[in-house]
Amino acid sequence: MKIVIANESHIKYAQVIADTISESAKVRGTGIAKRSPEYIVKRLVNGNAIIALDGDTFAGFCYIEVWGHQKFVANSGLIVHPDFRNQGLAKKIKKAIFELSREKFPDAKIFGITTGLAVMKMNYELGYKPVTFSELTDDPEFWKGCQTCKNFDILTRTEQKMCLCTGMLYDPAQEKSALQKKEVNSKAFKRLKSIKEQLFLKKKDS
């Protein structure tokens, strides 16, 4: 199994990717926006997608969308072909697209909306936090992408405040702040430990 960054050589898989997304939407009945082959092709050629292949056979896919002048990016369209499900492939693809997003857009907030518990779990393990829709991008083009989802009427009725999907967000600034705090706490602990050791030695020598 190869999990690689997509390029023009993978255009031949656009139709099967679109069909797999469509069929999955029918089976689940909720929470998946359909994507045309033309839409998929654009993601394949701009280097903002991950594709999984078993030899020359399509196995899985996920792509990056950029919003708000690169302030936000979304990892969307995570799909695994039925022949390759229940093998842990989705998790590997999710990790690969997350790492690609961090590499290409290191300062962007990474977000997604999903109804799938498995995807929520994967997001949580990568550092995402559940958030309200108001904390996600306000770019109208992103929300237009939900038009092919059967629950789009719920989104419009609530003025994009809620839907059946859960919004999840990874904020690199928060991670950086947490790491800095951890470093400060680590230094403070080492200093305290050093002071205690010195006091212990003095007490032992006296």
116/66 Cα distance (integer angstroms): 22
Place of tokens 């680590």: 186
Please give the pLDDT value at position 55. 95
Give the chain's domain count. 1
Q: What tokens does 171 get?
A: 């904020």
What pTM did the predictor assign? Answer: 0.74
Q: What is the pLDDT of residue 192?
A: 67
Beta strands in the chain (DSSP E): 2-5, 49-54, 57-67, 72-80, 109-114, 129-131, 166-170
pLDDT of amino acid 54: 96
192 found inside a domain: no
pLDDT beneath 50, residues of the chain: 180
pLDDT at 164: 83
**What are the counts of helices (DSSP H) followed by strands (DSSP E) for the chain?**
7, 7
Q: How far is CA 41 from CA 75, 168, 197, in A?
A: 16, 26, 63
Pairwise CA distance, residues 153 & 117, whole Å: 22
Within a domain: 134: yes
Beta strands 2-5; 166-170: pairing state: unpaired
CATH of the domain at 148: 3.40.630.30
Owning domain of residue 17: 2-170
Task: Read off φ and ψ for residue 119, nearest 5 degrees.
Answer: -70, -40
Q: Is residue 176 part of a domain?
A: no
